[in-house]
């Protein structure tokens, strides 16, 4: 897809995928069918099999297997030519007016966060959208929970991505929240838009089925940001970590006893 170099609001759509052709085809079609077209589409594939799709007008990049979402997105960022990068995961889809609804908010000092709807029910997911506004000015709250930041509803100016350094490849989870925290630390404004994305709840948590990997990711996030946390925030994080640990053990025992 040709990029309009003169357009100072040019947008590169960066889609990452890994062996989920069934979902990926719908994700990429949701980008191609936008009422207000993006300037280029970059697909970064870190899976084993190439999706069956005509990539002639798309910048398709095949990487080594399972390099992780952060590395995959960073490759897309590096290859992009637009002034803004709009990210999408392969199991989610954009509403047809996602880009149109986002463009009026574009600003080189803003990160845009769209509203999250269920891909199944088409209703807004309150737990991921309702409370985000009150978190805009409070990084401490973002350390503890994620009120609605995912890999499919973020649009970031390219120049800010260069300053931040892209998505943190050391984090096995929470990379989306971390990039917003880094932006807030640098005085970049986070703006909630009315742009809709449809989140695939049926695949949510696939990467977290391994309890040890999930808890390790939580500990890595904590070790990276604990120096920025207040005593209260540290306590809340530790309590939630223990709750996650106990809940994970309970589920493991439940499965074990049922067999």
Give the pLDDT confidence of 230-259 residue by residue, as tens digits.
999 999 999 989 998 898 888 778 777 877
Question: pTM for the whole thing?
Answer: 0.90
pLDDT(206) > 90: no
What is the pLDDT at residue 132? 59
pLDDT in tens, 51-71: 999 998 899 999 999 999 999
What DSSP assignment string belongs to 47-113?
SSS--SS--TTSEEEE-STT--HHHHHHHHHHH--SSEEEEEETT-EE-TTHHHHHHTT--TTEEEE
What is the pLDDT at residue 5? 44
Q: 11-206 falls under which CATH superfamily?
A: Spore Coat Polysaccharide Biosynthesis Protein SpsA; Chain A (3.90.550.10)
Phi/psi of residue 86, each to 5°? Answer: -110, 125
**Band (3; pLDDT cuts 50, 70, 90):** very low
In terms of DSSP bridges, do strands 40-45 and 93-94 run parallel, antiparallel, or are they unpaired? unpaired
Closest CA to 58 of 33, 40, 74, 73: 40
Rounded alpha-carbon distances, angstroms, from residue 218 to 42, 164, 173, 189: 30, 21, 7, 26
Report the distance separating Cα 167 and Cα 98, nearest Å: 22
* CA 190-113-51 angle, 5° bins: 140
- Please measure the distance between the N-terminal and C-terminal CA atoms of the chain and give it in whole angstroms: 52
How do the domains of the chain map onto residue ranges? 11-206, 208-258
């Amino acid at each position: 897809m040709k990029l309009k170099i003169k357009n100072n609001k040019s947008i590169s759509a960066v889609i990452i995928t890994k062996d989920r052709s069934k979902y990926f085809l719908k994700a990429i079609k949701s980008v191609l069918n936008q009422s207000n077209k993006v300037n280029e589409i970059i697909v970064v594939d870190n899976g084993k099999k190439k999706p069956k799709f005509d990539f002639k007008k798309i910048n398709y990049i095949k990487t080594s297997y399972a390099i992780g979402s952060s590395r995959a997105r960073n490759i897309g960022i590096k290859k992009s030519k637009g002034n803004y990068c709009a990210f999408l995961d392969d199991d989610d889809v954009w509403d047809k007016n996602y880009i149109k609804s986002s463009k009026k908010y574009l600003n080189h000092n803003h990160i845009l966060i769209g509203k999250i709807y269920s891909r199944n029910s088409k209703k807004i997911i309150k737990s991921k959208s309702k409370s985000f506004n009150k978190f805009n000015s409070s990084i401490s709250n973002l350390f503890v929970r994620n009120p609605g930041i995912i890999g499919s509803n973020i649009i970031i100016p390219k120049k800010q991505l260069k300053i931040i350094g892209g998505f943190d490849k050391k984090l096995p989870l929470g990379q989306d929240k971390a990039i917003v925290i880094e932006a807030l630390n640098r005085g970049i404004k986070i703006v909630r838009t009315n742009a809709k994305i449809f989140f695939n709840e049926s695949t949510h948590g696939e990467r977290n089925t391994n309890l040890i990997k999930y808890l390790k990711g939580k500990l890595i996030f904590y070790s990276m940001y604990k120096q920025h946390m207040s005593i209260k925030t540290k306590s809340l994080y530790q309590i939630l970590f223990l709750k996650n640990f106990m809940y994970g053990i309970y589920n493991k025992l439940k499965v074990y006893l049922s067999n």
